[in-house]
Amino acid sequence: MPKKHGSRRAVPAVRAGGPVSQDLEKRTAAYGARTIATDVRAKPEAGFRWHPLFALAPVALGLITSLNTLGGGFAADDSTQILNNSLIKHLGNIPDAFFTSVWAFASTDIVFATDTYYRPLFNVLLMVNYAIFGSSAWGWHLANALIHSGVVYLVFLLLKEITGDEWVAAISAVLFAVHPAHSESVAWVSGITDPWMAVFALPAVYCYWKYARDGRKSLLLGSAGFYFLALLVKETAVAIPMLILFCETWYFGTSRPWAERMRRAARILSVFAIPSAIYLVMRYHALSGVLFGSVPLYPLAAAIKTVPVALLKYVGLTVVPTGYSYLHYVALVGSLGSIAFWACLGAVVCIGAAIILTRSRELILCAVWFVVWLAPALAAIRRFDPEFVIQDRYLYLPSIGVSLALGLGVRWLATRKWGGINWRVPAIAVFAAMTIVLAGVYVAQNRVWFTDLSLYQNSVEVDPRSPFGHAFLADAYVNAGKPKEAESEGHAAIEAGPAEPDGYLSLAYAADSQGKLDQAIRHLEAGVEGIPEGPMTRYRLATMYLNLGQLYKRNKDLNRAEQNMRRSLELWQRPAGSYYLAEFYYDQSRYQEARDMYEKTLGQVPARFAPIHLKMGRVSDKLGDMVRAKAEYQLYLDLAPQANNRQEILRRIAEL
């Protein structure tokens, strides 16, 4: 967090519209004994006159440049989250969205059930969209484009409130509307979480900002209400209280003593503590836990050392419009001696120092906005595989800070008179050039999301050396019925990353899809033998051993099947490992061992995951524990009232 400059002297800012008074604390607003420093609004110099309809220009531009997404289909997670999600097909299931995770809601697969993303209003949006558009992809894309356009208008309103300058707000909103980093959030149906959250998050910040200027308590309550709704869309809305803390302790009222600022910040944040507590209770009830994502995959030290690398990469993707991809391979930093770590840390420090040295409150606010909204993603690095450490969609809200900085830069250039020349026309030319370039890249990037093949082909084009891009493309080729192309990409993945499991998994998947079970086993055996075990590989090796065990089970080699499944569980005590090992024991009539594994799984999955109760009922039934079997069967039916095997289970309950 930036420090205040000087003792109590306000920091001069570059203000759009002309010279700025050096005393930024003349204007105050009363809220009891509260004194809030605000920027003096300078009179704009003569020039273009603002008209309210101009605010619709960035909205229209955001919509027009997004319309080519309507020609796309479903990609990546859409098949599971949209097409194969039976529960979103009935509006009557809306209440259920508040009692389970995103992926458990979409599938009965144990892997998805243990993914703890609690986003009920996102699921509600899916239900409403399905009620309107069904499985027609164009309708889902239209909904995304409309939501993005609405967010663009909210960006304009917020930045106008922050800067007091409609032109700066409009310029910034235009750049935000066409930024190509947003393609993942707009062109990908399942990527709408960030724009949908912004629909509530931006009004939350807007209400707070107006409250900071005039002190109306209703605005603070409104801000807390919008914050709660934003949390119900996506957990990263926790950035809002962090932003408010910065504003209360630094941006507003720098003349007040530090202790007083902290007390006032605490009083305001106590209002936000109420919706935060309600959200955490709801989340815990639905997921049996509150942490983001699944269990950490990598050491905390490696994740912390990777933060500067990831942050600099995000800065680059926001400032330089190139290199956008669904997969950004970033190897976690394992040593403090890493050149990448020190180079990126030095670059981040230099950028931060340069911004502070401008002595512009607004530019510092832009930087803090960028970092604060990225903070949740950076904090979760150890929960991401290397190909997902960087994700374009996480830049949706942070890019507002960069857009505002560019808007301020354009306005600053327009007010210069160097060499007796008025730089307004060059400033307009610079703005137009930025808009054209960004819009062109944005429209082109939208087409990347048309199909799985186009998506992963782009990943390989952006980074041909990434083993993950080749591996994901290989899987896409398998699903498209192109085994030869899949094998070629699988071998390319191994060549690019011989110590990464993905290439071996892709080759095994390709072989298995052609009925070549022995060949699939050989590919995985080569992988587990060739990849060294360590803290950075153990979790992915666990996945390989589990898959290998499943293949050996199908090949009737039961001893090796059990050995590999148990090895997987030794490397990673995850629910999927114990669940599939329990199934193996059940199929071999080793019911007590199966029950032990199911009990282990039961304590690791959300209480509302229905299939585990069916499994517990059946294994208890086999062991003669009729009381437990009946209770588990009934619980299964309560959690899955529309289950296809409902009548069968009811008959068995009656027999018990």
Tell me the pLDDT tens digit for each residue of 397-416.
999 999 999 999 999 999 88
Question: Using one digit for the tens of pLDDT, what is the confidence trace for 518-553?
Answer: 999 999 999 999 888 888 788 889 999 999 999 999
| Whole-number Å distance between alpha carbons of 440 and 445 | 9
209 and 219 Cβ atoms separated by less than 8 Å: no
Question: What rounded mean pLDDT belongs to the chain?
Answer: 87
- Give 199 or 114, the one with higher predicted confidence: 199
pLDDT in tens, 566-587: 999 999 888 889 999 999 999 9
For residue 39, which of 247, 267, 259 has the smallest C-alpha distance?
247
Least confident among 105-109, 208-212, 423-427, 604-608: 105-109
pLDDT at 534: 82
What's the pLDDT score for residue 47?
54
| pLDDT, average across residues 283-291 | 77
Burial class (CB in 10 A: 0-12, 13-18, 19+), 93: middle
For the segment 177-203, the average pLDDT, to the nearest whole number, is: 96
Residue 362 DSSP class: H
* Residue 245 binned pLDDT confidence (cut-offs 50, 70, 90): very high
Residue 39: pLDDT band with limits 50, 70, 90: very low
In the predicted structure, residue 647 carries a pLDDT above the cut 80: yes
Question: What is the pLDDT confidence band of residue 285, given thresholds at 50, 70 and 90?
Answer: confident
User: Band of the pLDDT at 632, cuts 50, 70, 90?
Assistant: very high
Residue 16 predicted with pLDDT over 70: no
Q: How do residues 130-146 score in pLDDT, each as one tens digit? A: 999 999 999 999 999 99
Which residue would you say has higher pLDDT here, 384 or 439? 439
pTM of the model: 0.86
Inform me whether the pLDDT recorded for 607 exceeds 80: no
Given a cut of 50, whether residue 424 has pLDDT beyond it is yes
Quick one: pLDDT at residue 288?
A: 72
Indicate the range of 87-91, 314-318, 505-509 predicted with least confidence. 87-91
Instruction: Specify the pLDDT at position 18.
Output: 34
Q: Looking at residue 247, what DSSP letter applies?
A: I
CA distances, 120 to each of 75, 94, 364 (Å): 22, 9, 34
What mean pLDDT comes out for the span 486-504?
A: 92
Which pLDDT tens digit goes with each residue over 324-374? 999 998 888 888 888 889 999 999 999 999 999 988 999 999 999 999 999
Which residues does 233 contact at the CB level (< 8 Å), separation at least 6?
Answer: 119, 121, 122, 193, 196, 197, 199, 200
Q: What is the pLDDT of residue 174?
A: 97
pLDDT confidence of residue 105: 64
Question: Per-residue confidence at 178, pLDDT binned at 50, 70, 90?
Answer: very high
Range of lowest pLDDT (1-5, 32-36, 431-435): 32-36
Give me the percent of the chain exceeding a pLDDT of 70. Answer: 90
Q: What is the pLDDT of residue 107?
A: 61
pLDDT on residue 20: 29
Which range, 86-100, 439-453, 603-617, 635-649, has the best average confidence (pLDDT)?
A: 439-453
Instruction: Determine the Cα–Cα distance for residues 561 and 555; give it in Å rounded to an integer.
Output: 9
Q: What is the mean pLDDT of residues 609-613?
A: 86
Average pLDDT over residues 183-188: 96
Query: 597: which residues sit within 8 A by CB, 6+ positions away?
Result: 578, 579, 581, 582, 585
User: Residue 536 — φ and ψ, nearest 5°?
Assistant: -90, -10
Domain map of the chain by residue range? 50-446
Q: Tell me the pLDDT tens digit for each residue of 303-326.
A: 999 999 999 999 999 999 999 999
pLDDT at 656: 79
547 or 257, which is more confident: 547
DSSP 145-213: HHHHHHHHHHHHHHHHHHHS-HHHHHHHHHHHHT-GGGHHHHTSGGGGHHHHHHHHHHHHHHHHHHHHH
Q: Is the pLDDT assigned to residue 240 strictly greater than 60?
A: yes
